[in-house]
Structure 1
Amino acid sequence: MYIFNILSKKTKLIFILSIFFFANGFGQQKQLQDYINVGLDNSPLLKDLKNQKAVNLVDSLKILAGYQVQVNGISTNSFSPSSNGWGYDYAITNGTSFTQQVVATKKLVSKENLANQHEAIRLLNESLNVSGKISAQDLSKSITAQYITAYGIHQQIIFNLSLLDLLKKEVAILKVYTEKGIYKQTDYLNFIITTQQQEIVNYQLAAQYQNEIASLNYLCGIKDTASVLLADPIIKIEPLAEIERTIYYQQFIVDSFKLKNNIAQVEYNYKPKLNVYADGGFLSSFSYMGYKNFGASAGVSLTVPIYDGNQKKMQFTKIKIAEQTRQDYRDFFMKQYDQQIIQLLQQLTATNKVIVQAEKQIVLTETLIDANKKLLEIGEVKITDYILAINGYLNTKNTITQNTINKLQIINQINYWNKK
């Protein structure tokens, strides 16, 4: 009993529907960009980076607010009893102290210092912008790679279904000649087995395709189990950019500016600080005519750094070490980038050569199969030779499909490193 005959009616129906689905193009068709757009919209990481930028904007406003006039209400009240000469020194405590004041203070800061602090926030947001672009590029690359993988399986299914259709037509012809005694029963059975093997391959590919689509949906944050058809991915090599213009190099540039900003801020932190204040209210010890102790005062405070144990020098040393680390990472990235691009271009060239050779071979195998088909129709073909020709055609076609997919994956990687 043949494999196809022992399958349940339900399984047969699923297989027939899957053939109808793929062969006739029914089902929702989706583009690569559709998945990328949804994936970017759903990414919690990109949303987090966007929210961090909003938080930094609030921090920038807080800097401005910190240099505005600060007004506070202060209430300080104390009673210091004494008896027989025991108790706090009256000259210090006045026995009783009652303070109700409104105090206004303001830090005086130079425009340059304030601008440098705002520049630090701007550079932090710029760093988040670069991180966001890199994260988006990482996600786009992963989605594209998974899309290409699923698309490759889809292409194999389409080809294998057309091949299976050919085999079944040949089985019908071979059956007639076998019944007439032109071919042996073993020849007919060998051809049947080849056909059934192709059916099994199609089952496996259909299951694999659904798994790859599920993985693609998972990457994009899509909750959907419906079957879809994937459109041809339009992927071309973008013009190679200078390394300094890529988004990956931009992070090193931003980090350099951030370190320079840190140096400037250390310098500002060690400049003299001037504060002004004013207060008004009631301040009394009630020792004499307390009801007249309403008043006001104003003043200026100046802080001049003199010595802090060389902490300023230590901060500069830390920044210098950070700059050296930045340069080391930058130099390594530049070497890695050049090597990666060279290697990918070499792989692309080699893959193209394989595709060209396989396409030449496929012409020969198609010619051989056509010849065997004609010989089968007149009962003169050797079935073993025909099966070998079919297997050769299948292997060559799979080679073309696999290398075409590899080519798309390589281009995807080149475009990843080449992002501006």
Structure 2
Amino acid sequence: MNNKMKCLILCIVAFSVTRARAQVVAKNLDYYLKQAELTSPVLKDLHNQQRAAGIDSLIIRATGGAQVTASSAGMYAPVTRGYGYDEVLTNGQALEALLNVNYDLLNRKRINNQLEGVKIQSDSIQYAGQLSLFDLQRSVADQYILAYASQQQVGFNRDVVTLLEQEEVLLKKLTRSNIYKQAEYLTFLVTLQQQQLALQQAELQFKNDYATLNYLAGIADTAQVKLADPKLQTDNLVTTPHFFNKRFDIDSLKNSNQKNAVDLNYKPKLGIYANGGYNSSFILQPYKNFGTSVGFTFSVPIYDGHQKKMQYNKLSLAAKTIVNYRDFFSRQQQQQLNLIKQQLEQTDALFPKINEQIRFSKGLIEVDRKLMHTGDLKVADFVIAINNYLAAQNLLRQTQINRLKLINQFNYWNR
């Protein structure tokens, strides 16, 4: 192979490596949260429901004005050989074609109460949408934390395998020089193979966790990515929850709105109407039967078996139920926040001890490496040092992930 061919092959390899590295895209938690919000069909559904509530308000306002209708009816009752309907009652035939105008004079309070009901419904839908968004964000953040942890595990396992592979080359030379026994070399080789298998398992776990993250966020992406540090923070663990209490406030407003509706149903009702058109039985001068009429309707409830009081009793029971649920939820929420705060404090207390253990384990590995290079250390002791370092690092990562999950939970409930 001449020099030109070698240079060409090296250029192709370098280009392939550079291209593969360029395809690795860095993405952070905010990216997945935004994508999940954009693609969620539940959030789109609730948004459309809120827009529909706005249309309901327009419909209610339209019903508060004058209502104009056109109506027509015709009738023919034949009498054959004296058999048929009594013409005194039916007139034999009739035709009407009318334009009717109706207006309720005392409906302003009812219209306002209905509009208030629609506003409460819109607030309820808005609350449901915000709650769905918070639930979605919590799920995506939890999965992001898992995927990030898997990615960190892959990186750590790869570093360990690289270290062991370097030591394996040296140990093989020392074994051939009879400085170490063949059994010790095989013991070290088994440890290397175990770590290589652990690396493969970690890579597979990361792929699964990352695929699940894309699934939750509604993303169809198979490109290689590098997940950034989630960087979840809390506001000094200050608890200021108020969002979840909104649903109980909305329920109370619904109850009050229904009570007003009951009151309005027992108010007098007054309406006026007018119509004009053609109404004739064709018996006498049908061409003159064009005309108009005006009138009014009035009604007032007097007695219905005390139904109003019964409905008041139902609404009173519903109000007590709302208060009971609100008080119970508030206690649970505060207990949940206090528990998470306690767990966070206990978790933070572990880091100095774990970091100290990692520092000692890493220092021991460095010392053992030097001794092994001179043949003054048993391979089994080096393997033990490696395992201790692995256990300490795994404990650190698991503690970090637990802390991030606790922060995610705290931020969710502290709204």
Q: TM-score, normalised by structure 1?
A: 0.90
Closer, same or farther in 2 for the Cα pair 1:340/1:25, shift >3 Å? farther
Pairing of 1:10-409 with structure 2 (within 5 A):
27-82=24-79, 87-238=84-235, 240-243=238-241, 245=242, 247-409=243-405
CA contact (8 A) 1:36 1:140 kept: yes
SS in 1 for 2:179: coil
- 1:36 partner letter: L
CA contact (8 A) 2:103 2:271 kept: yes
Q: How many angstroms apart in 2 are the aligned matches of 1:252 and 1:409?
A: 28
CA contact (8 A) 1:25 1:229 kept: no
RMSD, aligned CA: 1.9
Measured after TM superposition, the shift of residue 311 of structure 1 is: 2.5
SS in 2 for 1:248: coil
Residue 5 of structure 2 corresponds to none
- 2:234 partner letter: I
SS in 1 for 2:245: helix
Residue 411 of structure 2 corresponds to 415
Q: CA offsets, 1:171-216, max 9 Å, x none? A: 1121121111111111111111111110000000001100000000
Q: How many angstroms apart in 2 are the aligned matches of 1:288 and 1:353?
A: 104
SS in 1 for 2:305: coil
- 2:45 partner letter: D
Measured after TM superposition, the shift of residue 170 of structure 1 is: 1.1
Q: How many angstroms apart in 1 are the aligned matches of 2:258 and 2:148?
A: 50
Q: How many angstroms apart in 1 are the aligned matches of 2:174 and 2:77?
A: 124
Q: TM-score, normalised by structure 2?
A: 0.91
Closer, same or farther in 2 for the Cα pair 1:92/1:139, shift >3 Å? same
- 1:332 partner letter: F
Q: How many angstroms apart in 2 are the aligned matches of 1:24 and 1:407?
A: 31
Q: How many angstroms apart in 2 are the aligned matches of 1:26 and 1:47?
A: 32
Closer, same or farther in 2 for the Cα pair 1:53/1:66, shift >3 Å? same
Q: CA offsets, 1:340-390, max 9 Å, x none? A: 111111211222222221111111111111110111121111111111011
Measured after TM superposition, the shift of residue 225 of structure 1 is: 2.1
Q: How many angstroms apart in 2 are the aligned matches of 1:24 and 1:124?
A: 52
CA contact (8 A) 2:23 2:223 kept: no
Aligned residues: 397
Closer, same or farther in 2 for the Cα pair 1:68/1:385, shift >3 Å? same
- 2:207 partner letter: Q
- 1:240 partner letter: V
Q: How many angstroms apart in 1 are the aligned matches of 2:238 and 2:328?
A: 20
